[in-house]
Amino acid sequence: MNSHVTWKAASAAAEETDVIRLADVRRRFGETAALDGVTLTVRRGEILGIIGRSGAGKSTLIRCLNGLERPDSGTIEIEGREITGLGEADLQPLRRRIGMIFQHFNLLSAKTVEENVALPLKIEGWPKAKRLARAAELLELVGLSGKAKAYPSELSGGQKQRVGIARALAAKPALLLSDEATSALDPETTRSILTLLKDINRKLGLTILLITHEMEVVRGIADRVTVLDAGRVVEEGPVWQVFSRPQAETTRSLLSSIRPQLPAHIADKLTADVGGEAILGIDIAGPAATGPLFEGLSQEFPGGYRLNHGGVDHIQEQAVGRFFLAVPADKAASLASYVERLGAQVEVLGHVADHA
Ligand SMILES: Nc1ncnc2c1ncn2[C@@H]1O[C@H](COP(=O)(O)OP(=O)(O)OP(=O)(O)O)[C@@H](O)[C@H]1O
């Protein structure tokens, strides 16, 4: 049977479904379970972030997705087609369905910007005029129309990544896989690249898989997030929900750089001995976070609490609040149940003898 025809048929059948589906994927290296039963989906049109510490299995996952690594067991479907059993010849068209961008851009220094962008089309056998026309279209999309004849060495890091994005999109992939694509860029350039990715996601309905250790990247543009730890999915969900109430210890630790933390001079005084003041950590997200939380608290507990630290952030247009309150120890339980009734999650972090 013509594999091109079956490929097309499988793609058409999966058009309305998920772009990628992994079910119970396992891959060991000796004693190390790099992927230990990973099940996840990337839905068409979404931006999914995958985060995890070094060694969590992110690179192994990427290599399994582009067929460079074969799982020991489990299934990987791309646009409805199971790929784990495919040979090299059948993997080629699959690889073209995934456009990739990298931390160090991977541009060819001896080729011009337009030649770099057109390269995947040259490999596919497009005639020169057509591929240069497509390159021009893509360079306009990424805001680099004037740089077609420039060489990579003449570009800034942000411009190089724009070229990388244009090249990744050349063959109209089903998915853009971003492998730490902003890790080598300064914060301002990172923001401009993220804005571009979000823009392309909206304009073209492009599905994006972001593999990153930068929480800001996921907070900035992802719809959903999956957290990997030691080869397992330990948490997943809409970004605002996971970032407002991380449940797994790994997620809490990964997010510690972007969530308000109890100031160190107060944390240093915390003890497990009940007495003095209790220090409560309060997470409240969604509509409840912009409601009259403090007005209500002041009425219910007049003079009975102090705000130590915290604030309200906005993720995916949802308010995400995190506060640290000091409360007389004998009032802690009733105050905690009051804010829990408003939809907050409360944790007693410990007690301090004096005013902290
Ligand atoms: N080819 C290999 N041989 C032996 N062990 C490997 C191999 N590839 C990965 N591993 C191990 O599998 C685990 C997962 O590695 P992987 O590179 O996928 O993690 P990662 O999340 O990408 O880490 P990083 O963020 O540091 O790149 C690690 O413990 C790693 O040492």
For residue 113, report the distance from its CA to the centre of ligand 1, in Å.
Answer: 33
Question: How many domains would you assign to the chain?
Answer: 2
Examine the domain organization and report whether 240 and 304 are in the same domain: no
Examine the domain organization and report whether 164 and 25 are in the same domain: yes
Distance CA 157, CA 304 (A): 53
Examine the domain organization and report whether 16 and 160 are in the same domain: yes
Q: Where are the alpha helices (DSSP H) in 87-233?
A: 88-96, 113-123, 128-141, 157-169, 187-204, 215-221
pTM to 2 decimal places: 0.88
Q: Does ligand 1 have an atom closer than 6 angstroms to the CB of 211? A: no
Q: Does ligand 1 have an atom closer than 6 angstroms to the CB of 2? A: no
Examine the domain organization and report whether 276 and 248 are in the same domain: no
Q: Does ligand 1 have an atom closer than 6 angstroms to the CB of 56? A: yes
Examine the domain organization and report whether 101 and 130 are in the same domain: yes
- Exposure string of 83-122, with b = 16+ CB inside 10 Å and e = fewer, is bbebeeeeeebbbbbbbbbbbebebeeeebbbbbbbbbbe
- CATH at residue 222: 3.40.50.300
Q: Does ligand 1 have an atom closer than 6 angstroms to the CB of 57? A: yes
For the record, the structure tokens of 283 come out as 């997470």
Predicted pLDDT of residue 177: 96
- Exposure string of 196-212, with b = 16+ CB inside 10 Å and e = fewer, is bbeebbeeeebbbbbbb
Beta carbons within 8 Å of 51's beta carbon, 6+ residues apart: 212, 213, 215, 218, 225, 226, 227, 228, 254
| Ligand 1 pocket test target in 27, 36, 59, 254 with most atoms within 8 Å of CB | 59
Q: Does ligand 1 have an atom closer than 6 angstroms to the CB of 31? A: no
* 290 confidence band (pLDDT: 50, 70, 90): confident
Q: Does ligand 1 have an atom closer than 6 angstroms to the CB of 29? A: yes
Examine the domain organization and report whether 222 and 272 are in the same domain: no
| Ligand 1 pocket test target in 60, 228, 232 with most atoms within 8 Å of CB | 60
Select from 59, 64, 50 the least CA-distant residue to 72: 64
- CATH at residue 337: 3.30.70.260
Examine the domain organization and report whether 241 and 340 are in the same domain: no
160-213 confidence digits (pLDDT tens): 999 999 999 999 999 999 999 999 999 999 999 999 999 999 999 999 999 998
**Among the three residues 205, 231, 256, which one is the final residue of a domain in this structure?**
256
* 275 confidence band (pLDDT: 50, 70, 90): confident
Q: Does ligand 1 have an atom closer than 6 angstroms to the CB of 328? A: no
Examine the domain organization and report whether 22 and 107 are in the same domain: yes
Query: Residue 54: which domain range?
Result: 3-256
* 256 confidence band (pLDDT: 50, 70, 90): very high
Q: Which long-range contacts (CB under 8 A, 24 or more apart) does 336-344 make?
A: 336/280, 338/296, 338/297, 338/300, 338/301, 339/282, 339/284, 339/293, 339/297, 342/284, 342/288, 342/291, 342/293, 342/296, 343/284, 343/286, 343/288, 344/282, 344/283, 344/284, 344/288, 344/293
Examine the domain organization and report whether 225 and 344 are in the same domain: no
